[in-house]
Amino acid sequence: TFEGADGAAKIAKLAAGYAKTAPKMMDGAKVTGARDFSAKTFKDIEGDTIPREKMVIFDLADGRRVAVRPSGTEPKIKFYMFIRRDPKGARFSAEELAAVKAESRASLDALWQWIQSDVKARL
């Protein structure tokens, strides 16, 4: 959260910075793709055009993703973090699922720490 006119300028700087200069690595994982939804037109799975908005999604080599976008209604820049883990078989066993959840939580916590450090460096 960044309040006031100075905060709005920081949010705009961060949003533009992520769109213009994608990190090469995030939390030790290579950034394998970046999609800038304000600069390019994308279609959803059904072929419908997704409206343009100030949002960038970064794909990481380890299966994580980060979406960055300024809020349209609040003095915030938002970071959405995603992780995907696939079972070796049809589904995870209860033990595997517990382990995957714990690993995923730790992985996302580490990514969040990296993002906070990156934001400070970009400002």
pLDDT value at residue 55: 96
Determine how β-strand 49-50 pairs with β-strand 77-83: unpaired
pLDDT value at residue 72: 84
pLDDT value at residue 15: 95
Question: Which class for 76: exposed (0-12), middle (13-18), buried (19 or more C-beta within 10 A)?
Answer: middle
pLDDT value at residue 87: 93
Under-50 pLDDT residues of the chain: none
Interatomic CA distance for residues 84 and 12, integer angstroms? 30
pLDDT value at residue 73: 86
Going by C-alpha positions, the residue among 34, 85, 22, 24 that lies closest to residue 59 is 34
pLDDT value at residue 120: 96
pLDDT value at residue 32: 98
Question: Which class for 41: exposed (0-12), middle (13-18), buried (19 or more C-beta within 10 A)?
Answer: exposed
- Phi first, then psi: what are they for 56, rounded to 5°? -125, 135
Q: Are 38 and 23 in contact (CB under 8 A)?
A: no
